[in-house]
Structure 1
Amino acid sequence: MDLDRVRADTPAAARRAFLHNAGSALMPVPVVRAVQQHLELEAEIGGYAAADAQALPLETVYRQVATLLGAAPEEIALTENATVAWQMGFYALAQDFRPGDRILTAQAEYAANYVAFLQAAKRTGAVIEVVPSDGAGELDVAALEQMIDDRVRLIAVTWVPTNGGLTNPAWAIGRVARAHGIPYLLDACQAVGQMPVDVEALGCDLLSATGRKFLRGPRGTGFLYVRKALLDRLEPPMIDHFAAPWVGRDKYRLRDDARRFETWENNYAAKLGLGAAVSYALGIGLGPIMARCRLLAERLRDGLREVRGVTLCDLGRSPGAIVSFTVADVPAEELVARAAEAGIVIGVSPPASTLLDAEARSLPPLVRASPHYYNTEDEVDRLVELCRSLPAA
C-alpha cells in the first residue's frame, strides 16, 4: 500500500487524526470528484440529460459492487442507505411470517434491525430468539445449530456490530443456514470496506451495506445483495413502476433482477461516488486494507491497555477496527469533545444502539475509535496520549 498516495488523496488527514471511520469515513479525492462532476453536469444540462450521458458509468456501478462482493450484477440493488437495503430484504421475507415463526439473531444485534424484528413480531405473531454468545462474545454457532427447527424462518445477524470490536463468525453461520435451507440476512455495514467479502463463501442469501463507512463513499448510498435462487421468490414490500413495470390495466411484472428492490428516482451523483469508492478500495485490495486496519486497531488497544483508568470493551477472537472503551470518571461525550479540541475525531456508541449487549455487560456510553488504512501510527498514539493525560490516568 502506498500510504503517501492514499493520504494525498485524503487531504483532511493532514489536518486532523480522523478515527471515526465506523461512523462516516473521509472520502478520497476520486470519490469527491465523481460526485462533483456529475452535479456540475446536472447543473449544466439538467438531471435527465446528465443521467443519459452517464448511462454507462452508472450501469458500471452494479458491476463494481458485484465484484466487491463476489456476486453477479443482477443480484445487486443500489439504495439510498443501508437501512433501506436491509429493510427491503427483511420485510420482503417478513410478509410471509405466521404466528410462531422464529427469527434467530445475535446478542449484539443493531438497534435499527431489532426494532424491525419487533414490528414484524407485533404484526405477524412471529417470535424473536437471541442465539447465546460463546465465551469470546461471538455468536455461538453450536448453540445456533441446536436451536434450528422447522419453525425457524430467518437467521439475521450483524457481522461486525457497531461497538465492541466484535466480528461474528459469519461464514460458520452461513453453513448452518444453508444446511437447513433457512434464509440468512447478513448486515455487513461495518464489514464492507474493512475486510474481504465473498457472498458465496459467507453463504448468505441477502447482504446489506452502506457506502459511507469503511468503504469511504458518500452518505446516502447503500446496496443490497440478493442471491438469485431466492430473488425469484421475493416480492418487495413496496414497489413502483421501475421495480415492477405496469404492463396491463390490472397487472404489473416484477423485474427479474435485484433492482426490483429499487425505485425510479435516485441520487445519480452519489451513485457514481459509490462506484468510485468501490473502485478505489478494489485498487488497493481488501486484503491489505484489512491487515492495516487490524494492525492500527491492535496498536490502539495495546496502548490503551497501558493507560490507568481505561477499560477496553471489545469482544471476539479476532477483533476488527472498532475499538470501544471507557475512561474512569470521564464521560464518553466529554472525551470525544476533548479529542476534538486536540484535532482527533472519535465518536460515542450509546447503549441503545446494541441494547441487549449493553444490558448483558452493563455498558455505559462507550468511546468508539475506528482507525482505517489511511491513518498513521502516530495518529493512533495521539489518542492514547490524550487518554493518558486525563485526570483518571
Structure 2
Amino acid sequence: MTIGLQDGTRADPATRVIDVAAERSRTAGTAGRHYFNAAGAGLVSDGVLEAVVAHLRREQRVGGYEAANEAADDVAAVYTSAAALLGARADEIALFDSATSGLRGVFDALRLGAGDTVIAPRSSYVSQALRLLAMQRHDDVRLVVVPNDASGAMDLEVLERAVAGASGRVVVSAVHVPTSSGLVEPIAEVSAIARRHGAWTVVDATQSVGQIDIDVTAVDCDALVTTGRKFLRGPRGTGLAYLRRGTLEGLGAWAPDVRGAVWTGEDEWTMDGTARQLETWECSVASRLGLGVALREALDRGPAATEAHLVALGSRIRAALAEIDGVTVADPPASPSAIVTFTVDGLVGKEVSTRLRTRRIDSIAVPASHAQWDLGTRGLPSVVRVSPHVYNDDEDVRVLLDGVAEVATEARS
C-alpha cells in the first residue's frame, strides 16, 4: 500500500484481507473477554501501550520538557499520519484531548452570535447538542434541527431549504455516524448543499474515523473532528481535528494560547497560520505518541479494507440479532456501519448490558439522555450498542449472539 503523507493521496484496495488473528495477537485485551465496545473505547494494541509507557518512563528519568524535546520528531509525525488518514495536509491538523474539546475550539473560533445560524441533524451527540443549545440560549444563535427522511438520515431537501433561508453566518454541524445507532449520514451531500449556499460544514466524525474510510477532500467539509479512543484504538485523552486551509482566516482563535500565538507587543499578537492555532500548550505527550502509533497501525491495515471488513461484520451481526425472538434491531435503514443497536423485550438497555457482562461480553447501553433528538424522538428510553473491530473473530460473534439469545429467553421467563 502506498500512503501519500503530504498530498493526501493514497492507494488502499478494499479487497485487502484483514488479518484478524494477527490483530488479536497484538491486542492483549482480547484474552478472556468478548469485547464489542469499540464505539466507546477500542482496545489499544500492545504497540500503543508500549509507546505511552516508554515516554512516561522517559519523563520520569529526564523530566517532561526534556522528554518532549527528544520526542519532537515523533510528535510531528502524528500530524503527518493523521493527515494521511484523512486525505489532508499536516498543517490542517490540530490535536486535542478529546473530540468535544476539538468541536468547542472550532465553534469558539467561528465566533457565532446574534443573527447567525447553526443547522444540526437529529443524530447529534449530547455534548454537541448541549453546546448548540447553550449557544442558542446565551448567544442568541438561531438553531435549526433538521428532521430525518424515511431512511433515518438527515432529510437533504429540508436541509437545503434551511440553509438557503438561514440568516447571518451559517454553519452546518454535521454528524457522520452517531452514538445512538449504526446510521451513516450523507456528509458529502450535506457539505455540497452547504457549499452551494456559502455555509460552513463542521463534521463530528467521532464514531466513524477508524472504521469508515474518510477523505476530507472528497467530503469537501471545512472542519472535521474525531477522537483517538474509539475506532482509531488510541489512548483516552486524545483527539484531532482537520481544518481546511483558510477556514479561520480573519477570525483567529477565540482564546489564543502560547501554542498557536506569539505575543509581539504590549497589546499585539500574531496567530499561527495553521490549524494548530486552536491548540493549547499543555498536553499529554505520551498519549499523543500512543495516538501516533494507532494512526500508523490504521494506515497499515488500510482504511478502505478496514471499512469493508467492519461494515460486513456489522451487517452480519445486525441480521443475526434480528432473527432472535424478543430482540428488535433499533438501527434505522441507512445504517451500513459496524455499530449495531438493539432492544430486548422486557429489559432496559443497562440490564441487558449488565447481563451480557456476566458472560464476559462487553457492550454498552446508550440512554435517551445521550441522544434526545434521536432516541427521545423515537420513543426509545435506551438501546444496547455493540461495536466490533478488527480484533473480533468468529468465536466472539458466536458468543455474543448466543448471549443475547439467552438474555432474551431469561426476560421472557
Deviates most, 128-137 or 327-336:
327-336
Pick aligned residue for 1:114 from 123, 129, 151 = 129
Structure 1 position 91 matched with structure 2 position 108: yes
Aligned twin of 1:102: 117
Residue among 24, 28, 37 paired with 1:11: 28
Answer yes or no: is 1:392 the counterpart of 2:392: no
Which whole-Å deviations, capped at 9, do the CAs of 1:228-277 have from their partners, x for residues lacking one?
Answer: 02132332222222221111111111111111101111110000011100
Q: Give 2:7's aligned residue.
A: none
**Larger mean Cα displacement after TM superposition, 217-226 or 371-380:** 371-380
How many residues matched?
A: 391
Alignment identity in percent?
Answer: 36
Q: Distance in 2 between matches of 1:298 and 1:75?
A: 34
Specify the code of the residue in structure 2 equivalent to 1:80. D
User: Which 5+ residue runs of structure 1 have no aligned equivalent?
Assistant: none
2:158 paired with 1:139: no
Corresponding position: 1:216 with 2:233: yes
The amino acid across from 1:136 in the alignment is S
Please point out which of 186, 189, 196 is paired with 1:169. 186
Tell me the equivalent position of 1:35: 52
Aligned counterparts of 1:248 and 1:47: Cα–Cα separation in 2: 29
The one-character-per-residue Cα deviations of 1:100-123 (angstroms, maximum 9, x if unpaired) are x32111011111111111111122
CA distance in 2, matches of 1:377, 1:169: 30
How far apart are residue 142 of structure 1 and its match? Answer: 1.9
Q: Which residue of 1 is the match for residue 383 of structure 2?
A: 366
Q: Which moved more, 1:290-299 or 1:52-61?
A: 290-299
The 5 A counterparts of 1:240-389 are 240-389=257-406
Moved over 4 A (4+): none
Q: TM-score, normalised by structure 2?
A: 0.92
Tell me what 2:6 maps to.
none
CA RMSD of aligned residues (A): 1.3
Which is further off, 192-201 or 382-391?
382-391
Deviation at 1:318, TM superposition (A): 4.0
2:37, 2:386 within 8 Å by CA — same for their partners in 1? Answer: yes
SS at match of 1:230: coil
Q: 1:71 aligns with which of 88, 104, 107?
A: 88
Q: Please tell me the residue identity of whatever aligns with 2:393.
A: T
- Out of 157, 160, 165, the residue aligned to residue 149 of structure 1 is 165
In structure 1, which of residues 125, 131, 154 is the aligned counterpart of residue 140 of structure 2?
125
**CA gap 1:96/1:295 in 2 versus in 1, 3 angstroms:** closer
CA contact (8 A) 2:178 2:207 kept: yes
CA deviation string 1:34-89 (max 9, x = no partner)? 11111111111111111111111111111111111111111111011110001100
Is contact 1:236–1:261 with CA below 8 Å preserved after alignment? yes
